[in-house]
Amino acid sequence: MTHTSFTLLGETIKPGSHAQLELTAPASYGNAVMAIPVYVFHGKKPGPCLFVSGAIHGDEINGAEIIRRLLKSSALKSIQGTLIAIPVVNMYGFMYQSRYLPDRRDLNRAFPGNKTGSLTSRLAHLFMNEIVKKCNYGIDLHSGALHRSNLPQIRINLATQHAERLAKAFNVPVILNANFRDGSLRQAANEMNIPILLYEAGEALRFDDIAIRLGVKGILNVMREINMLNHVRHKTAHIQPRIARASSWIRATKSGIMHPYKDLGKAVSRGEVIAVIADPFSREELEIIAPNSGIIIGRNNLPLVNEGEALFHVANFEEVEAVAYQVSEVQYENSDDWMDEF
């Protein structure tokens, strides 16, 4: 089968080769040129084009590490189609350990962007036109915000074509149905009929090794599903990803010092005490009660809380115990303890 070269950012990549390119970010008032590294693997055989992006929020570094490990994977030697990997999209934020750009805007609220807009809007426009539009699929890697960790999870909008199939292929136990946010990459890509999976895992400015391992495996699993790689290896057969159709946050009903009783991935029952908020200056304590049953998919890690702040993100599942069991299995199988046995 004849197969043609791939052109990206003005460079031509021949079948069966790979290249490191640079996307030049819009100029800020500083004199420095901000180059965003872009890796391209163009297979010998034709197939779909997939992009994988990290650190659209500059402080969400798990995604950059997932891509770093993905790029070392020997599986990429035999891909069909084209993989475009961008470890750090928001290079400005990455430099300064910030979620935002220097104009204090959030890149994931600026898509599809505008050529003549703000710095953030221009970067969104550039990324959309130079990368996203060339692809058939995308995987966007995120973490929780500062002091908030997320259980590894895929977020999709069930109304999107292919979303459920790809989400299940990624093969983590928890999938959350989440509506599009205005200005998100997911929404802008959906309007161009490019399905995007959003992988949320870990916490900003921290590495979460289990989340990183699951992320690398998940991307390779999706590449198998869309026939960019041959099937079978790595897939943990016993996982049955389940979809939560809704989720809610449990908030602090008092300001004080929080002592959580439940970890990420654990099941909670309606009426259960999941944390205590203590007054640091008296002996007063207030119990935080779960209003619904579900699985904890996000948690605040900072003990100092103000009334109204989000403490636990709980996803509603029909089979809560089954999901909790799978989460604990996956955590164990991807932990150092398990790895050390081999």
Binding site for Zn ion (CB under 5 A): 57, 60, 142
Sequence letter at residue 20: Q
Minimal distance in Å, beta carbon 311 to Zn ion? 19
Q: Which is nearer to Zn ion, 60 or 130 (CB)?
A: 60
Minimal distance in Å, beta carbon 152 to Zn ion? 14
Minimal distance in Å, beta carbon 317 to Zn ion? 23
Q: Which is nearer to Zn ion, 140 or 225 (CB)?
A: 140
Q: Which is nearer to Zn ion, 141 or 226 (CB)?
A: 141
The Cα 326–Cα 285 span in angstroms is 34
Minimal distance in Å, beta carbon 49 to Zn ion? 23
Angle at CA of residue 253, ends 267 and 181, nearest 5°: 70
Q: Which of 265, 168, 151 is nearest to 211 (CA)?
A: 151
Q: Which is nearer to Zn ion, 58 or 241 (CB)?
A: 58
The Cα 244–Cα 177 span in angstroms is 6
Query: Token pair for residue 245?
Result: 């159709």
Minimal distance in Å, beta carbon 271 to Zn ion? 33
- Taking the CA of residue 300 as centre, how many other CA atoms within 13 Å lie in the half-sphere pointing to its CB? 21
Cβ neighbour number for residue 273 with a 10 Å cutoff:
12
Minimal distance in Å, beta carbon 142 to Zn ion? 3
Q: Which residue is nearest to Zn ion (CB)?
A: 142
The Cα 262–Cα 250 span in angstroms is 13
Sequence letter at residue 144: G
Q: Are 174 and 295 in contact (CB under 8 A)?
A: yes
At 200 the three-state DSSP class reads: strand
Length of the chain: 342
Q: Which is nearer to Zn ion, 57 or 217 (CB)?
A: 57
Q: Look at phi and psi of residue 279 and say left if phi exceeds 0, alpha if psi is from -120 to 50, else beta.
A: beta
- Taking the CA of residue 288 as centre, how many other CA atoms within 13 Å lie in the half-sphere pointing to its CB? 27
Q: Which is nearer to Zn ion, 199 or 317 (CB)?
A: 199
Q: Which is nearer to Zn ion, 93 or 112 (CB)?
A: 93
Minimal distance in Å, beta carbon 23 to Zn ion? 19
Query: Token pair for residue 284?
Result: 């007063």
